[in-house]
Structure 1
């Protein structure tokens, strides 16, 4: 295949800037998801705990991609290998945690087996952390990770471009799990949506005879949107798979700047997309976040404004200066009325 010996592809400055911004927003979004989970215990649930672990790996993924694009490697230096190993581990772990969230929701919602879902959490940890770690360690020990300026990346290091079996390792360290997720996630998502729709129709038949209104549960309302994680994943990751297939087919469309930008954003922005969906677009969490921000701003500005107004108004009021009013309190037990 011609792509095995292609020269390095230079990225435009605009492409680098867009990918760097995507990495930065994803990093901040992942931090915000982690913060909201720690800050408000009443919103914690098992699905959102799985989202927390997904946000942790997205945090490291966006940071490693940011460093790789910013560094603009030209050789397989030590930091290139470190960046490639970190992005390989976090990227592969992200695939498994995304499928773990979908599988947990499928077992609890469709199968209605909460005990089985709780038991599966231990396997989620073993697989989502263990398998990527074994793959990454093997790739590093066999010197498969290094400088990769081919068409299957957007500036960061991944599989060494000089490796003879690079295609096998590209599949093993990401693309095979990515394609597997494309096959599994839509099936789970459609089954969950179908079950929820059937449950809503059944509930609507009995709603007129209910004696009381349903109780608002912010945690349940926040958990409902977790089923959109597979959609976010597929929409973001599909562009890298398209470029990978175009590369295998030696298609010139792989150089399309729009496709390159979508590839860079898709690989690095999952943390930001999850933050938009599960923090900014979730009223239960957004309300608490805005309340905390407003209270912090009021405390910082209110204390400074009070000190400034106390000093300035002490001389313009009809009661004299602050010192005079304090001295007057020593001689009179009654303050002037307003």
Structure 2
């Protein structure tokens, strides 16, 4: 099996898990009568992750159809060139959706961590201006960025040279121009998100370790709801670090073996598509009240055989 086809299958599996996880997060949120601001921002972040996963599935189906004879290809560099693919409307549409979705996810991850820190220092109720700024940064700014990229013809097929079995920034003749658009359409904002969220995480942990969380947030019934959102930056970095590593290898012209590149591609294919899935596992199943509630219902069902007890 060619490495690009293998990456396509991996991306399809991880993205499918994220789509299912995103739906479950939306259902859990809609059935929960207690909607605090952090949970709402987490759902906004999940919307971006959900759109991202759906776009990847579309990109996978396109790649599978485009390279259905891929097993006959003898190249081992995980890169297949296609002169006809760069102008594919489906490719550009998928790139538009996934680029916008990833920027939305980055923006709301930053909003989440910044809001959490402001809660820690006593700003429990955001002003109307701050809410407007968060929504502009979370929804409108990503739209401006991706529309600018589309207008300049920067999105399209890259022949999996520096991404994976999906479309993103097209294959420019000039490498410098290609790198600038890669930064503008994602990587700069991704790295900036790492920095902002890490700083907010450190500040939040500092407030907690110094015992200065006396300003308990009135919206929360359980303090465990607060710190678990701090780790959003870790989940983002762990899932997307392989794509970032491939980006830096590409920028610095570092040559790695075909085997190492294939491993990085496979890890990126799983990580990039799995963000909503990993968030679902972490945020829901590390929530003790949630786990206790369903564990008690499972025990009651085992004792009584009443299947309706498992229904929310």
Structure 2 partner of 1:64? 55
CA distance in 2, matches of 1:188, 1:254: 37
| Residue 160 (str. 1) matches residue 165 (str. 2) | no
CA distance in 1, matches of 2:3, 2:113: 35
Query: Which of 184, 187, 202 pairs up with 1:175?
Result: 187
| Residue 282 (str. 1) matches residue 293 (str. 2) | no
Structure 1 partner of 2:27? 35
Structure 1 partner of 2:98? 87
Of 120-129 and 157-166, more deviation after overlay is shown by 157-166
| Residue 273 (str. 1) matches residue 285 (str. 2) | no
Q: Please, what TM-score do these two structures have when normalized by structure 1?
A: 0.74
Q: Which runs of 5+ in 1 are unaligned?
A: 1-9, 204-216, 302-338
The number of residues matched between the two structures is 277
CA distance in 2, matches of 1:300, 1:119: 44
Query: Which of 251, 258, 264 pairs up with 2:269?
Result: 264
Structure 1 partner of 2:235? 232
Of 251-260 and 128-137, more deviation after overlay is shown by 251-260
Q: Which runs of 5+ in 2 are unaligned?
A: 67-81
* 1:135-146 map, 5 Å: 135-146=145-156
Does structure 1 conserve the Cα–Cα contact (< 8 Å) formed by 2:236 and 2:275? yes
CA distance in 2, matches of 1:247, 1:268: 21
CA distance in 2, matches of 1:228, 1:296: 38
SS of 1:114's partner is coil
Does structure 1 conserve the Cα–Cα contact (< 8 Å) formed by 2:4 and 2:165? no
Does structure 2 conserve the Cα–Cα contact (< 8 Å) formed by 1:152 and 1:243? yes
CA distance in 1, matches of 2:143, 2:202: 31
Query: Which of 87, 112, 121 pairs up with 2:122?
Result: 112
CA distance in 1, matches of 2:307, 2:42: 32
Structure 1 partner of 2:40? 49
Q: Which is higher, the Rg of structure 1 or of structure 2?
A: 1
Q: For each residue in 1:247-295, what CA deviation from the matched residue of structure 2 results, as whole angstroms up to 9, or x when unmatched?
A: 1122222742221122112212111111011112212223455678969
CA distance in 2, matches of 1:58, 1:201: 31
Query: Quick one: structure 1 residues 197 and 60, their matched pair in 2 at CA, closer, same or farther if it must change by over 3 Å?
Result: same
Structure 2 partner of 1:304? none
Of 68-77 and 170-179, more deviation after overlay is shown by 68-77
CA distance in 2, matches of 1:163, 1:92: 25
CA distance in 2, matches of 1:202, 1:40: 27
SS of 1:188's partner is helix
Query: Which of 201, 205, 215 pairs up with 1:193?
Result: 205
Query: Quick one: structure 1 residues 178 and 297, their matched pair in 2 at CA, closer, same or farther if it must change by over 3 Å?
Result: farther
Displacement of 1:188 in angstroms is 1.1
Does structure 2 conserve the Cα–Cα contact (< 8 Å) formed by 1:107 and 1:117? no
Structure 2 partner of 1:313? none
Query: Quick one: structure 1 residues 201 and 162, their matched pair in 2 at CA, closer, same or farther if it must change by over 3 Å?
Result: closer
Q: Please, what TM-score do these two structures have when normalized by structure 2?
A: 0.80
Q: For each residue in 1:134-159, what CA deviation from the matched residue of structure 2 results, as whole angstroms up to 9, or x when unmatched?
A: 11112222221111124321110011
Q: Higher helix fraction: Structure 1 or Structure 2? A: 1
CA distance in 2, matches of 1:118, 1:199: 30
CA distance in 2, matches of 1:253, 1:158: 22
Question: Over aligned residue pairs, what C-alpha RMSD do you find?
Answer: 2.8
Structure 1 partner of 2:79? none
CA distance in 2, matches of 1:140, 1:61: 17
> Which 4+ stretches in 1 moved above 6 angstroms?
200-203, 290-297
Structure 2 partner of 1:325? none
SS of 1:199's partner is coil
